Amino acid sequence: MEFHDLTLRDGCHAIGHKLSADSIKQYCTFAENAGVAVIEVGHGNGLGASSLLIGESLLTDTEMILIAKKHLKNTKLSVHVIPGIATIARDIQPAIDMGVDIFRIASHCAEASLTKTHIEYLAQKGIKVFGVLMMAALCTVETLVEEAQKMKSYGANAIIMMDSTGSFYPKDVSERIRALVTVGLPVGFHGHNNMHLAVANSLVAIENGATIIDVTMKGFGAGAGNTPLEVMASIYPGSVNLDEILRQCEKFEYASPISKPVNILTARSKLFSGFERPIIEACKKYGISLKNLVDELERRNLVAGQEDLIQVISLQLAEKS
């Protein structure tokens, strides 16, 4: 069982994607010393995502990758890739050339076919590639398995299930991980803490066969945050240096996320956790109810990457009121 540390990627959502060079250098040095298996770096929405609509990164993808690689030796470097945002020529091939070890190719849980070109390209080059099924609460167990099988046929080396909405209960995770294991690839779990169940869900994932657990320092991540590295390392300390992790936790520069009303509401509506900031900003700007906006986003089935529509929908709600 491995911990894959996404602090420098999922955590970017919490700081408007303004991750500094010093933060990357310091954290990668820590991860190497602590024996963390994999660390992920980049814009919260992955390669090529920096934009006015989604949020501009302080550093370019190239800058972030090169800084991380310079300070990693044994710890592997991964990146998040959403087809439609990232392209092979502009984003993936340069990342290959810079030495990225693992590419995590992600799609909505029912749209794995969108990952075919990207996964096949990497698999044919012999580069480790994971298939990532985001927003996993929005499809049945049977569909989740079918989509994972597609990713396997494209050449994926592992399947990661993301509770992007932070809405799963342990029984949901147990049922889905147990089913995904039958696909015949290593399975990972990515939890969000909207309902304060990220640790419980991660433990249940391990009990049912998951061998990759996504974590972040102090749960630093989108919305209410992720499964905390320091907690999981205290339960499964075998592969990491717990003392080093706890020292880093004490001096970590960012506060632990908390589950706020917006996080509870987005979990209830099975919306992307990264919508927290644009939802709060839109409610303040247009003077509309948090619950009314979240209910409307649920009705319209918004998914990650559609952050710009939150402003449009908020304006429409304000004009009706």
Q: Which residues are catalytic?
A: 13
Nearest to 156 by CA among 114, 91, 209, 104: 104
Nearest to 304 by CA among 50, 18, 14, 54: 54
Token duo for residue 204: 């249940």
For the chain, strand residue ranges (E) read 2-6, 38-41, 76-81, 102-108, 128-134, 158-162, 187-190, 212-215
Tally the residues of the chain: 321
- The whole-angstrom separation of Cα 290 and Cα 43 is 26
Evaluate whether 232 touches 215 at the Cβ level (below 8 Å). Answer: yes
Evaluate whether 318 touches 288 at the Cβ level (below 8 Å). Answer: yes
- Maximal C-alpha separation, the chain: 57
Strand, helix or coil for residue 283: helix
